[in-house]
Each structure stands twice: as structure tokens, then as C-alpha cells.
A and B are shown apart, each in its own frame.
Chain A
Amino acid sequence: MTILDLLSWLCLTLGGLVGVIGAFGLLRFPDFYSRQHAAGTTDTLCAMLILLGLGLQAGLSLAAFKLAAILLFLIITSPVATHALANAARQSGLKALTSDDTSDDNSGSKP
């Protein structure tokens, strides 16, 4: 087991963990818009970590280039899809849940 393998598995495991936490947040958060933020972690940090882990396995090869291309296209396309969803929800009149009161006294205790 080389150090590269170790790093790669660390990235893959962390990426998987972030994906699971993101799915958990998707269930936990109260409304459509806040759920989008939870889903957002899976298509940024989770995807980045998993692709990085796979890239470390692939080494300096054509496969690594393809993985980088996947990441590039993901980073360009996923915000467009997220914005399209959010904008469609707004256009059709879905009101965002806002809570100014409950959080204010809590957030002071923890930065």
C-alpha cells in the first residue's frame, strides 16, 4: 500500500461520507430551497473528492485527463441546473421558508 493509495482511499471515503451527509441534509431540511443547498454539497465537494481519489488511482494518464474533463463539465453545468430548478420554483410561486427569529439567539453561542 503506497502513500498514493492511502491518499486516494482517503479522498474516496471522505467523498462518500460527504455524499451520505448531503443526502441526510436533503431529508432533514424543511423546504425546497434549503434542501437545494444540502444537495449542492453532493455535486461539489463530494464529486470533487471522489474524482480526485479516482484520479490518484489513475496516475498521470489519459484516464486522469478524462476525470478532469468530467469535473470541469460538472462545475459548468451543475449550477445551471440548480439555478433552473430554483428559478422555476420561484416563477411558479413557491415561497421560501424564512426564519429570522429562532436562529438569532442560537447563533450567538456558536460562531
Chain B
Amino acid sequence: MRTLLYSLVLLAFWLLLSGHFNNPLLVGLGLGSVLLTVFLAKRMNILDHESFPIQLSPKLPRFSLYLLKEISLSNLDVLRRILSLRKNPISPRVQTLPLPHKTDLGRVLYANAITLTPGTVTLELQGDNIIVHALSKESAASLATGQMAAAIPEVPAYANPAKGSPA
């Protein structure tokens, strides 16, 4: 199931990137390269719920919209601070926040969402905590409300036991 879907996605990607729809030789070669890629991915055993997370797809559109809104708002905030005439427009700080997600994928998504919004950068994951550098008191506070953590799509079926200290 996953393999079939992966092949279809790759094929669609190849077709859309190349734009060759009616030259049998080129389409055949594209098909060949897709099959080779799928074969190699199967052989290397890297085609799983982490590399190709189809279980998340129903929740992705809503999450993308949320992320887009957060990115825009925090961008405006950082731009305002850059252009601010005050002597000290920023109040940088390092904060440790709880990491409520059980799956590795959920943790990665959360950490990357934090880094993707300007004003906050993930420094380190430590067990069940996440260490974050924030540009200002306000951005740190808005992160501490846990609103973003709650918005991360997570499918508990793939939950694995939380690791002691993922490097």
C-alpha cells in the first residue's frame, strides 16, 4: 500500500517536473527510474511511517494553514523589532519547555515548527523537554501557552516508547 502510493507520488512528481507526457521513450525511462528508486528504497528499508508519513495526510491541510498564519504573524513581529527605534527592542532568552508529543515524528514536527517561525529557534531536545531560544519575552510567552504544541498533528498508532535522551 505504502509502496504503491510512493511509486505514484514519484511518478507524478517526475511527470510534472519533466513535462514529457506523450513521448513513450522518455515516459518509459521515467517509469524505469521511478521503479529503480522504489526498489532501492525498499532494499535499504527506509520506506516507513517516518520517511513517508501518509498517516498524517488528513491533518496536513489544516496544520499547513495554521503554520502559515503563525509564520506570517511572527515574521511581522520580528520585522517590527528590527526596525524599532528603541534602544533595546529585543529581550532574548533561553527557555525549557515541556515536550508533550509521544512519537518521534510529532517531536520533529514540533521542533521544526518552532524553528520555522522567526523569533524562536529550537536549541536542543532533552528527554521530555525542549530547549528554545526566543528573541523576545512575548514570543517565549506565546510558545509557553502550548498552543502550537497542541496544533501538531500526531497519530498515536505509531507511538514508540519515549527515548531517554535522543541526541
Contacts and interface: CB of A to CB of B under 8 A. Distances in A.
Interface residues of B, number: 39
Given A45-B75, A99-B91, A37 B121 contact: yes
Given A33-B121, A37-B119, A80-B112, A21 B91 contact: no
B135 interface: yes
Contact of B91 (A33, A76, A80, A103): A103
Q: Is the interface of A mostly helix, strand, loop or mixed?
A: helix
A103 B90 contact: yes
Contact of A97 (B92, B122, B138): B92
Contacts, number: 128
Interface of A: 18, 21-22, 24-25, 28-29, 31, 33-34, 36-38, 40-41, 44-45, 48, 62, 65-66, 69, 75-76, 78-80, 82-83, 86-87, 90, 96-100, 102-104, 106-107, 110
Interface of B: 13, 16-17, 19, 71-72, 75, 78-79, 81-83, 86-88, 90-94, 111-113, 115-124, 131, 133, 135-138
